[in-house]
Structure 1
């Protein structure tokens, strides 16, 4: 049974990574051609064939460069957010883990675009993952990517249709068209979201420092901030309103 942490009903962790031209994650770029694979006498970038992605693009949440190939970075939403929840009412997910809510690109002003491309919408996530043989990934999603109403797949579908369709780096034309399979970008969206979640084991970080859910024990904001900052590698900010939101921001390729 999940306990309340410091008598607070919900903890939402907003994990931010500034990106400017955010470099494509390795698992997303493995289908893209060599960045410098233009033919000797070609002066034009051929759609679907070549993507020139500089390896030294500056990190920021705006595109002030002259890089025109949007397959190379997230734009206009140059900050990636991942949100985790401590769901105790109703209690869903493992007792020793936060649950995963989603991943999306934010604009520099804190807002975000949504439902950007109806042509990318999906009606089933589980079928797609099974078609690609991603049974292990699906098992992980069923464990910690939870919907409070009990229908987990509806949340997965909603998150892709709402946010995944706004990620230009996983548009189908960004892949090598000779090997791309329909919905491969959907799989990559789920795979990268889970990878980032596993890279940020928030509950483990807190519990290893003696901070665990309790109906009697309370913790100071400084205790939580210091613990997470030490493990995250960057300052963490705890914002209190109707619930607790922990913001952790890190510039990272």
Structure 2
């Protein structure tokens, strides 16, 4: 009997620890709202593919809404049966998401003969990796709807255009890009870069922070900005 009891107690303990870890994994401090420039996604050695709906408009698109901790780390893949991705919950959101949250990754030739990117695969990935960790605040439909509303509220391209920063393949000051965004939004933005096929640094992502309550238009000053990986001047590629 003693042997039986000693084996049962550790199992219960492990179950409780597992449940505690699930709860912790769903807690976070704020969101990164990340938009990307499609011209920079396509102007790389890897290139890009367009969705079946065709080439998206020349505008920033959503990369994701990512729960983060104040120390710079982040929770991920907080998946469970309760919050598993459901395509049917995307039905009324698809038209907006196809315009504002398009996929550019090319499918693996080993798995498909298609030359089109897969929007639904991208949305599932973003939900599984990031959205599930905000499930206590935003269920799946609300997560995508809220993110698209954030995109509608801040028109990054127009902010840049209003200040003479154009996607014309020329170089622009990263500090100027950061400055005009702060003047227009009231908040400091994180600027992320990648490299084109020739190795030149180019504007890739712009990151703003959002309060964890996910209240309407709840932008906040970032507790911590993403690591800067840009030189002083970067190319703003044509798309």
Question: TM-score w.r.t. structure 2 length?
Answer: 0.58
Distance 2:209 2:89 in 1: 32
Distance 1:123 1:117 in 2: 9
RMSD: 2.8
Distance 1:95 1:212 in 2: 15
Taking a change above 3 Å as real, the CA distance of residues 186 and 249 of structure 1, as seen in their structure-2 partners, is closer
2:176 is the counterpart of 1:214: no
Q: Which has a greater percent of helix?
A: 2
Distance 1:187 1:250 in 2: 18
Residue 249 of structure 1 and its aligned partner are, at CA, apart by: 4.3
Aligned to 1:225: 178
Residue 207 of structure 1 and its aligned partner are, at CA, apart by: 1.2
Structure 2: 5+ residue stretches without partners:
1-24, 43-47, 107-116, 196-201, 212-217, 220-239
Distance 1:114 1:250 in 2: 17
Distance 2:152 2:164 in 1: 20
Taking a change above 3 Å as real, the CA distance of residues 128 and 200 of structure 1, as seen in their structure-2 partners, is same
Aligned to 1:169: 136
- Residue aligned with 2:184, SS: helix
Structure 1: 5+ residue stretches without partners:
1-73, 172-184
Question: TM-score w.r.t. structure 1 length?
Answer: 0.55
The superposition leaves residues 4-52 of structure 1 with CA deviations (integer Å, 9 ceiling, x where unpaired) of xxxxxxxxxxxxxxxxxxxxxxxxxxxxxxxxxxxxxxxxxxxxxxxxx
Q: In the alignment, is the contact (CA less than 8 A) between 1:96 and 1:203 conserved in 2?
A: no
Distance 1:228 1:239 in 2: 14
Q: 1:87 aligns with which of 4, 15, 38?
A: 38
Please tell me whether Structure 1 or Structure 2 has the larger radius of gyration of its CA atoms. 2
Taking a change above 3 Å as real, the CA distance of residues 120 and 168 of structure 1, as seen in their structure-2 partners, is same
Deviates more, 1:150-159 or 1:231-240: 231-240
Residue 235 of structure 1 and its aligned partner are, at CA, apart by: 2.9
2:60 is the counterpart of 1:98: yes
The superposition leaves residues 200-247 of structure 1 with CA deviations (integer Å, 9 ceiling, x where unpaired) of 2111111122211112x3222232122111111123354667564544
Q: How many residues align?
A: 161
Distance 2:85 2:182 in 1: 39
2:91 is the counterpart of 1:138: no
Q: 2:89 aligns with which of 128, 131, 140?
A: 128
